[in-house]
Amino acid sequence: MNKEIQLQDLGNKDYKETWDYQEELFKQIVDIKIQNRRAETNLETPNYFLFVEHPHVYTLGKSGDMSNLLLSEKQLEAKGATFYKINRGGDITYHGPGQIVGYPIVDLENFFTDIHKYLRFLEEVIIATLAEYTITGTRSEGETGVWLDVGTPFARKICAMGVRASRWVTMHGFALNVNANLGYFDNIIPCGIKGKAVTSMHVELGQTVNEAEVKAKIIKHFSILFEGNFS
């Protein structure tokens, strides 16, 4: 079981380019697993963790409803945003500057084989990170991601999640609003959930947040929960 996780910060990168790169890494891991099974070899599978910030983009998951995008093609262009239908779970979400996006592309057989546990651990990584900024993140039953003030009229989402897994290999991941322009969320029904607001760390704290520092805390909590070593 390989517990080493290769960390790559891609900086600001186009969504489609990053998606293609994810698919490449995902296929690499799956191919090794198929080879191990067919040839009865025992080659080690690598694990990756990508950090990225995307230019303005809306993505719709497999179970998503197009009506949750409230913009026409022309309006998308006017806002300098792109749109993709993708192969993760979940509905529609927004990615853009000021948001920390994390894509763990890992072989869960190196850690544990439980997708439900994997999603809960991803949420816990963000909850633990937010706690270091005195922001109390929680789960909302039946709604993957991290929320604030669940069960009140002021419930708001601070981190969206959507993953794909095959042969226990994961891709896609989470998007934490740190210094994001929340106005872009007005153009969608986020995650297909009507009447729920979104927020960001800088709105909650009333100041711009150091994104490099947040990334370091995410890595710390991910390595603790998954008992992995980053390189």
Q: What are the pLDDT digits (tens) for 170-188? A: 999 999 999 999 998 888 8
CATH number at residue 33: 3.30.930.10
User: Which are the contacts of 20, defined by CB distance < 8 A and separation ≥ 6?
Assistant: none
Annotated binding site: 88-95, 160-162, 173-175
Instruction: Report the binding-site residues for substrate.
Output: 88-95, 160-162, 173-175
User: What's the pLDDT band for 146 if we cut at 50, 70, 90?
Assistant: very high
Count of domains observed in the chain: 1
| pTM for this predicted structure | 0.93
Q: Is 159 a catalytic residue?
A: no
More confident residue, 210 or 37: 210
Name the residue range of residue 47's domain.
4-230
**Whether pLDDT at 193 is above 60:** no
Of all residues in the chain, the percent with pLDDT exceeding 90 is: 74
Q: Pick the catalytic residue: 106, 155, 191, 219?
A: 191
